[in-house]
Amino acid sequence: MSKPDFDLFRISEDHEALREAVRAVAEDKIAPHAAEVDQTATFPQAAYDALVATDFHAPHVPEEYGGVGADALATCIVIEEVARVCATSSLIPGCNKLGSLPLMLGGSEELKHRYLAPLARGEAAFSYGLSEREAGSDTASMKTRATLVGDEWILNGQKSWITNAGFSEYYTVLAVTDPDGRRGANISAFIVEKSDPGFSFGEKERKLGIKGSPTRELHFDDVRIPADRIIGAPGEGLKIALRTLDHTRVTIGAQAVGIAQGALDCALDYVRERSQFGKRIADFQGIQFMLADMAMALESARQLVYVAAAKSERNDPDLPFFGAAAKCHASDVAMRVTTDAVQLLGGYGYTQDFPAERMMRDAKITQIYEGTNQIQRVVMARQLLARGGA
């Protein structure tokens, strides 16, 4: 029997130092604005500036393109620690990775240098355009078209539910390039710039949570882009997009863990101070059982996310299973832990005087975007059936 890979479960000193550094920035520069960002539904500019100043806005960008080259686990730690105080702000590094990873996976070197360098410098942000009104989970049924005319691609159509739309300068957009081709193999990926003529945005969605991150439609009306802005070869777009999600679902798991940790911290602070019947409510066994269950679920989710991050870094063949599992389990845990945190705070938990209710609202989206948790279970089941095990 081979020896188990214990390093897989060990967090290095560098990772712990990174956590301390991100936590300091999050608590000092981001947390003070979190409630206002939520209440006013405004982009967290102070958080963006703080993350850019510390190179935490897009830590995944490799060094050869001007980035810091953080590994997958380090990127998850950044997202987790920011989400602990403000889920909206954690979408800055999260969305930057989602939007630019297709380029990193399938783009030419020239294209990578052209777009990753400004991202690394904090001069531009990236978003990801895959979903449409009638093509959410069924991505292959998208209607957006890209037609090659001479040395340009002409895009027409729309994309829905796009995170940080309008703020980001660059967009990875999926479009059908061969309407008569085989379904799923007829889709290509492109980079669209915010300034491209004919490219516009819909109104901001009015959302339950993550309110400071603008979610809008993308509209393409004869948008002409140079032919060299295609990512990979024609027809490879959906394959690249799905490979991207295998990796970035892990970061959604990290976001969910961060939200849950913030909610648990809030609950712990409250029960230590609140007194009833002559003693702290933290001293009641029923409260202690709730806290223990919350922490146990949270730690199981964190470990699964970290294992999935290690698999993402190595690009292991079972990453699709672990990426889906990490996202699914961690988001379910985040919803449960935040709901219990509101319960522990009682009437105060239902008010905006404490962050628990915001965290509960923010947690919900982690069960929905980058594939609903029902879709994650489909992904996991297919992996199990194809290989006979995880």
- Express each pLDDT in 239-267 by its tens digit: 999 999 999 999 999 999 999 999 999 99
Identify the band that residue 389 occupies on the pLDDT scale cut at 50, 70 and 90. Answer: low
Cβ 103 vs Cβ 116: under 8 Å = yes
Q: Where in the chain is the domain with CATH 1.20.140.10?
A: 238-387
What is the rounded CA–CA span in Å between residue 313 and residue 330? 19
81 tagged catalytic = no
Q: Where in the chain is the domain with CATH 2.40.110.10?
A: 126-235
The catalytic position among 80, 236, 357, 370 is 370
Q: What is the pTM of this model?
A: 0.96
CATH superfamily of 126-235: Butyryl-CoA Dehydrogenase, subunit A, domain 2 (2.40.110.10)
The tokens for 350 are: 């239902």
Apex 34 CA angle, 26 and 338, nearest 5: 90
The tokens for 132 are: 């449409």
AA letter at 274: R
Cβ 116 vs Cβ 109: under 8 Å = no
Q: Where in the chain is the domain with CATH 1.10.540.10?
A: 6-121
Q: Does domain 6-121 have CATH number 2.30.110.10?
A: no
Report the half-sphere exposure of 76 (CA within 13 A, side-chain side): 32
What is the rounded CA–CA span in Å between residue 235 and residue 174? 10
Q: Spell 65-99 as b/e; 16+ CB within 10 A means b.
A: bbbbebbbbbbbbbbbbbbbbbbbbbbbbbbbbbb
What is the rounded CA–CA span in Å between residue 101 and residue 15? 22
What integer pLDDT is reported at residue 322 of this predicted model? 98
CATH of segment(s) 238-387: 1.20.140.10
- Express each pLDDT in 91-130 by its tens digit: 999 999 999 999 999 999 999 999 999 999 999 999 999 9
